Amino acid sequence: MNQYRLPSDSKMLDSDFVFGVATSSYQIEGAVTEGGRTPSIWDTFCKVEGKVDNGDNGDIACDHYHLWEQDIEMIHSLGVDAYRLSIAWPRIFPKEDCVNPEGLAFYDKLIDKCHELGMKVYVTLYHWDLPQYLEDRGGWLNRETAYKFANYADVVSDYFGDKIDVYTTLNEPFVSAFLGYRWGYHAPGVEGDAEGFLAAHHLMLGHGLAMPILRQNAPQSKHGIVFNASPAYPNTDQDQSAANYSEAENYQWFIDPVLKGEYPSLVWEHQVSNRPMVLQGDLDIISAPVDYIGINYYSRNVVSYDENGDIKTVKQEGADHTHIGWEIYPQGLTDLLVRLKARYSNFPPLYITENGAAGDDHCVDGEVLDEQRVNYFQEHLNAVDTAMRAGVQVNGYFAWSLMDNFEWAFGYAQRFGMVHVDYQTQKRTLKQSAIAYRNMLVTRSEEKKNG
């Protein structure tokens, strides 16, 4: 397959539908001690033995800090409309209340280059790299961090204003809160149910505090938040309540306070001893209006109750799985989007801000034949099209990821990129999935010109 194909009447082929690629700062930049940057919680976490596969870290990663210009040119060569990136908080505030002009300048030239090449810029303010000095005072367990985040958002948006086309406050607060502060799989490695729910509330409070600031500083830009979400399915007819609770805890807990001004009762009543301290007015702050919501989708969850009455995920034997072990289930993306539309009557315009697959990819004679990923993207683009035909408003689709990178606790063992990275030489090679994406967008562009 040399290009992805959508029905000729698909709304995804309209000129105002945004196609893009996505990355995040710690996963690609490297240069962790350059340009005034100080350590993040991930720099610290990577030094803890056994926390990251192979003892990997983001010290060099894809060396994007030095190779950014050629990377932006490569993104442009794919024919995309937009580039989704994140800003590293420790580059902007390397010390408490100390703004680093060199950090702002790095992103300024990068953004200018994108605009020069005709691409819009979608910027995430927090993609998990919290400054270590804030973690030393409790991190997201400390309510003060929400206010520090709002101040960081103020500095960035005051500097860039409307130059950033679309602002995202947080990427996947579920992962930050639960993998980082509940289960300890991610930085900073804290374990405890109460801690996870408290961190979640403070993350969402930080989002809400930032929203009016962003609107004031960048009134022409769009502002929103990105959630990861996996639809849940019962393993047997007796497991429907497990599926309902799984969805409530895994994504409704984060989306409900934004769109409904409340936490889902299913979780609130179940987690009595782990409820976070919610002060009067907090939910009013969190439910500030958003211009859009981003959804990151990779797979589904099939769940059941175990012998202790706890909810467990049931692996689907015989199903197709990616290299990381996640089931390939494109119907789940359609189901998720339809469920979101049904649950939230006020659901704003939506972007698929991440979607992709990890592969056991190898560059042979200058080619990377990632057939599974090619099929994955084709099937999931079709799934988005199906959801749109069912009445869901989707305004864009961003492939994850632009290139192979530091995949958090998996280190460099998992490759999600459309572009292969040789970490020894930093050579970039377009995989077949990238070539198919580019060809689809070139065809769309030519059809636009021809009316």
Confirm if 60 and 70 have CB atoms less than 8 A apart. no
The 232-234 sheet, strands edge to edge? 232-234, 301-305, 311-313
Residue 1 lies in a domain: no
In the prediction, which pLDDT does 390 show? 97
Residues of the binding site for substrate: 27, 127, 171, 298, 400, 407-408
**Dist CA 219 CA 102 (whole Å):** 25
**Dist CA 239 CA 232 (whole Å):** 10
Residue 171 lies in a domain: yes
DSSP category for residue 432: H
Q: Write out the two tokens for 303.
A: 């769940």
- DSSP structure string for 312-366: EE---TTS-B-TTS-B--THHHHHHHHHHHHH-TT---EEEEE----B----BTT
How far CA 391 is from CA of 30, 211, 270, in Å, comes to 42, 28, 33
Residue 180 lies in a domain: yes
Residue 4 lies in a domain: no
In the prediction, which pLDDT does 449 show? 74
Instruction: Specify the pTM.
Output: 0.98
In the prediction, which pLDDT does 451 show? 62
Confirm if 142 and 135 have CB atoms less than 8 A apart. no
Domain containing 56 equals 11-449
In the prediction, which pLDDT does 184 show? 98
pLDDT tens-place values along the chain, 451 residues long: 899 999 999 999 999 999 999 999 999 999 999 999 999 999 999 999 999 999 999 999 999 999 999 999 999 999 999 999 999 999 999 999 999 999 999 999 999 999 999 999 999 999 999 999 999 999 999 999 999 999 999 999 999 999 999 999 999 999 999 999 999 999 999 999 999 999 999 999 999 999 999 999 999 999 999 999 999 999 999 999 999 999 999 999 999 999 999 999 999 999 999 999 999 999 999 999 999 999 999 999 999 999 998 999 999 999 999 999 999 999 999 999 999 999 999 999 999 999 999 999 999 999 999 999 999 999 999 999 999 999 999 999 999 999 999 999 999 999 999 999 999 999 999 999 999 999 999 999 888 777 6
In the prediction, which pLDDT does 1 show? 81
The CATH number of whichever domain residue 125 belongs to comes to: 3.20.20.80
> Closest Cα to residue 92, out of 172, 25, 176?
25
Confirm if 217 and 162 have CB atoms less than 8 A apart. no
Helix (H, G, I), strand (E, B) or coil at 399: strand
DSSP category for residue 79: T
C-alpha atoms less than 13 angstroms from C-alpha of 450 in its C-beta half-sphere: 6
Which residues have a Cβ under 8 Å from the Cβ of 63 and sit 6 or more positions away? 30, 31, 426
Residue 256 lies in a domain: yes
Of the residues 29, 135, 172, 249, only one is catalytic, namely: 172
Confirm if 331 and 339 have CB atoms less than 8 A apart. no
Query: Active-site residue 354, yes or no?
Result: yes
Helix (H, G, I), strand (E, B) or coil at 394: strand
**Dist CA 197 CA 175 (whole Å):** 12
Residue 134 lies in a domain: yes
DSSP category for residue 2: -
Residue 196 lies in a domain: yes
**Dist CA 122 CA 20 (whole Å):** 9
DSSP category for residue 403: B
Confirm if 332 and 297 have CB atoms less than 8 A apart. yes
Confirm if 131 and 144 have CB atoms less than 8 A apart. no
In the prediction, which pLDDT does 450 show? 76
In the prediction, which pLDDT does 430 show? 98
**Dist CA 439 CA 61 (whole Å):** 28
Residue 99 lies in a domain: yes
**Dist CA 31 CA 35 (whole Å):** 8
Helix (H, G, I), strand (E, B) or coil at 434: helix
Cα-based angle 332, 336, 339 (whole degrees, multiple of 5)? 135
Confirm if 60 and 124 have CB atoms less than 8 A apart. no
How far CA 208 is from CA of 161, 211, 286, 319, in Å, comes to 18, 5, 4, 40
Residues of the binding site: 27, 127, 171, 298, 400, 407-408
Looking at the 3D structure of the chain, how many domains does it have? Answer: 1
Confirm if 67 and 426 have CB atoms less than 8 A apart. yes
